[in-house]
């Protein structure tokens, strides 16, 4: 059905080919899982299969992609769209209308399908994703999981022969991820459509016996299912877990009757919380539970009410709005929002210079001494030209370079492969131990993060549902019936 022959592509201004002489055949009804390190070119490959690379992107393109023996390079994008549809990584970015109904109807209306038929297809597509109740909702009122459902419903309604899903669960919490896998099962069971899923979280998909392809240095390599599983095992490590209250130093963060309001609504309310020096805290919860507000409130970026004290070097500080940002190191989920300089080396020392004008740091030495060795080869490169994984590491390196005492990491593992997550976690854990720093990590990867964390905070509806020693987290997840988190914790 899809035939790829000698496909190569090099982006304009880049030295290396992102896709390098790829040959591949995909049949109707197949389930393909495409995996690989972050930034290896998976999205580029998806864009090439859908014709966008050959039609819209500047660079050196060679080879052919054919669908049903017709070369897509000679077809219009609107014609290619009849056969193959790409659900992009972030559903938020691909919606073009204001309501769920209009969004699903958009592609069908462009094809001048009869309005009555459109109504039927919208209902069928929403039924397929268990989201009939969303039909009248505004896009902006949807949660992350609901947006992903609508994005998939949009694809189903168009009835293409091939659907490509680019990291469909990367922006979702664990519960929504499980729901999306439930949808895949339904699509896979029907065998009416070829599914190509770009995904890092493969464990769940293994149940459907997919054909696994790995993209590495521009080449597509077929992997056997057991080969993937053996690759994954042994990369996690066990560590002794002790009660955090005994092991760690003095209290660093104290919150009492702490609350945050946004647009007049209370988004976070914490009656009491203490965090000690040297703790590594895993912050869990569904999308919209108040985790990011908690991090921004601690930092002082979002204004909060109540008592908030930070005790460092035996000095007690009532932190008001943005008074001591140098004590904190905040890393956001999207690295692109955090680069303000033209080279990697300037970016590494940018916050350091802002906080401590006389402070010095040799970026090359810093990169080599920490786990950012790969960045030391890119010191003169513009941050925007780095791969996604490198961008993530740069955003963390720029924070660690000024040695903050409290690290606040907000969903930094989005779009990262398990090996990237492990690599980043090792770096952070090493930094924590060396500097006796406090680390709070908002994450949806408890399976890996809890190998390092000593404590977990679980947020629900703007409140802390439970605050437990890492050894007791399982008990609490069972008690509060958060089985999806439990399964994720056991995922290797």
Partner 1 sequence: MISLAAFLLHGYLEETVLLLIVLLIGIISRFPFLRTRAIKTLFFTVLFLAMIHIIFNKQGEVIVDLDLITVTRFGIEKAVFIGARFAVIVLIGFIFVFTTDTNVLLYSLMKLGLPYRFGFTVITSMRLIPIFGNEIDQIYYAQLSKGVKYRIFPIKKFTGTIIQFLRLLMISIVKQVDAMVISMEGRSFGLSARRSFSREVVFSLTDYLSIFVGVILLGAIAIEIVF
Select 148 or 476, whichever has its Cβ closest to partner 1.
Answer: 148
Among residue numbers 42 through 81, which ones bind partner 1 (CB under 8 A)? 47, 50, 52, 56, 77-78, 81
Q: At which residue do the structure tokens 């996690």 appear?
A: 236
Return the structure tokens found at 121. Answer: 């297809």
Q: Are 147 and 100 in contact (CB under 8 A)?
A: no
- Residue 94 interacts with partner 1 (CB under 8 A)? yes
Q: In whole angstroms, what is the distance from residue 310 CA to residue 163 CA?
A: 50
Q: In whole angstroms, what is the distance from residue 296 CA to residue 316 CA?
A: 20
Taking contact as CB under 8 A, which single stretch among the options 59-67, 252-260, 295-303, 479-487 is the one that binds partner 1?
295-303
Q: In whole angstroms, what is the distance from residue 422 CA to residue 416 CA?
A: 10
Binding string, residues 146-185; x marks residues near partner 1 by CB under 8 A: --------x---x---------------------------
In the complex, the smallest distance separating the C-beta of residue 107 from partner 1, rounded to whole angstroms, is 3
- Residue 406 interacts with partner 1 (CB under 8 A)? no
Angle of helix 144-158 relative to helix 115-128, nearest 10 degrees, comes to 130
Residues in the chain: 492
Q: Please list, residue by residue across 294-308, b when 16 or more beta carbons sit within 10 angstroms of its beta carbon and e when fewer do.
A: bbbbbbbbbebeeeb
In the complex, the smallest distance separating the C-beta of residue 396 from partner 1, rounded to whole angstroms, is 13
Select 7 or 105, whichever has its Cβ closest to partner 1.
Answer: 105
Among 1, 26, 113, 312, binds partner 1 (CB under 8 A): 113
Q: In the sheet where 31-35 sits, what is the strand order?
A: 84-87, 162-166, 194-198, 31-35, 211-216, 219-223
Cα pseudo-dihedral 164, 166, 167, 172, rounded to 10: -90
- Residue 475 interacts with partner 1 (CB under 8 A)? no
- Residue 110 interacts with partner 1 (CB under 8 A)? yes
Among 32, 33, 67, 118, binds partner 1 (CB under 8 A): 118
In the complex, the smallest distance separating the C-beta of residue 324 from partner 1, rounded to whole angstroms, is 10
- Residue 489 interacts with partner 1 (CB under 8 A)? no
Among 101, 201, 214, 482, binds partner 1 (CB under 8 A): 101
Task: Annotate 139-191 with DSSP letters as a single string.
Answer: GGG--HHHHHHHHHHHHHHH--SEEEEESTTTTS-HHHHHHHHHHHHHHHHHT
Among residue numbers 369 through 388, which ones bind partner 1 (CB under 8 A)? 384
Select 88 or 269, whichever has its Cβ closest to partner 1.
Answer: 88
Q: At which residue do the structure tokens 């054919």 appear?
A: 66
Helices (H), 202-343: 225-232, 244-247, 291-299
Q: Are 425 and 418 in contact (CB under 8 A)?
A: no
Number of residues engaging partner 1 in binding (CB under 8 A): 62
- Residue 234 interacts with partner 1 (CB under 8 A)? no
Select 52 or 130, whichever has its Cβ closest to partner 1.
Answer: 52
- Residue 119 interacts with partner 1 (CB under 8 A)? yes
- Residue 248 interacts with partner 1 (CB under 8 A)? no
Residues at the site binding partner 1, with contacts judged by CB under 8 A:
47, 50, 52, 56, 77-78, 81-82, 85-86, 88, 90, 92-99, 101-102, 105-115, 118-119, 122, 139-140, 154, 158, 296, 299, 301, 322, 325-326, 328-330, 332, 334, 336-340, 350-351, 354-355, 384, 398
């Amino acid at each position: 059905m899809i035939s790829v022959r000698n496909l190569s592509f090099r982006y304009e201004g880049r030295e290396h080919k992102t896709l390098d002489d790829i040959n591949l055949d995909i049949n109707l009804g197949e389930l393909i899982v495409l995996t690989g390190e972050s930034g290896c070119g998976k999205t580029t490959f998806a864009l090439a299969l859908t014709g966008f690379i050959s039609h819209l992107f500047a660079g050196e393109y060679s080879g052919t992609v054919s669908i049903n023996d017709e070369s897509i390079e000679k077809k219009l994008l609107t014609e290619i769209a009849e056969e193959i549809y790409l659900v992009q990584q972030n559903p938020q970015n691909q919606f073009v209308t204001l309501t769920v109904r209009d969004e699903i109807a958009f592609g069908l209306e462009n094809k001048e399908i009869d309005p009555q038929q459109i109504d039927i297809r919208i209902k069928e597509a929403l039924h397929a994703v268990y989201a009939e109740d969303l039909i009248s909702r505004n896009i902006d009122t949807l949660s992350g999981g609901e947006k992903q459902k609508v994005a998939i419903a949009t694809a189903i309604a168009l009835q293409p022969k091939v659907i490509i899903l680019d990291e469909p669960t990367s922006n979702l919490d664990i519960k929504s991820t499980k729901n999306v896998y439930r949808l895949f099962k339904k699509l896979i069971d029907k065998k009416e459509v070829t599914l190509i899923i770009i995904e890092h979280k493969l464990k769940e998909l293994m149940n459907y016996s997919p054909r696994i392809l790995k993209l590495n240095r521009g080449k597509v390599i077929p992997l056997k299912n057991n080969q993937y599983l053996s690759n994954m095992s042994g990369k996690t490590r066990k560590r002794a877990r002790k009660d955090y209250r005994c092991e760690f130093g003095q209290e660093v963060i104290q919150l009492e009757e702490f609350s945050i309001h946004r647009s007049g609504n209370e988004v976070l309310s914490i009656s009491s919380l203490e965090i000690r020096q040297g703790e590594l805290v895993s912050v869990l919860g569904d999308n919209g539970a108040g985790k990011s507000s908690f991090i921004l409130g601690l930092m002082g970026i979002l204004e909060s009410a109540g008592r908030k004290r930070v005790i460092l070097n035996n000095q007690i500080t009532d932190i008001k709005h943005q008074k001591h940002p140098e004590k904190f190191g905040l890393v956001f989920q999207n690295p692109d929002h955090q680069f303000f300089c033209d080279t990697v080396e300037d970016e590494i020392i940018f916050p350091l210079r802002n906080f401590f004008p006389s402070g010095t740091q040799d970026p090359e030495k810093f990169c080599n001494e920490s786990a950012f060795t790969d960045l030391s080869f890119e010191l003169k490169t513009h941050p925007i030209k780095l791969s996604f994984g490198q961008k993530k590491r740069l955003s963390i390196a720029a924070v660690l370079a000024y040695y903050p005492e409290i690290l606040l990491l907000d969903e930094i593992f989005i779009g990262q492969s398990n090996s990237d997550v492990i690599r980043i976690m090792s770096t952070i854990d090493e930094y924590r131990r060396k500097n006796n720093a406090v680390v709070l990590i908002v994450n949806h990867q408890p399976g890996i993060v809890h190998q390092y964390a000593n404590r977990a905070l679980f947020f629900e509806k703007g409140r802390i549902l439970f605050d437990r020693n890492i050894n007791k987290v399982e008990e609490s997840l069972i008690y509060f019936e958060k089985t999806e988190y439990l399964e994720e914790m056991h995922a290797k």
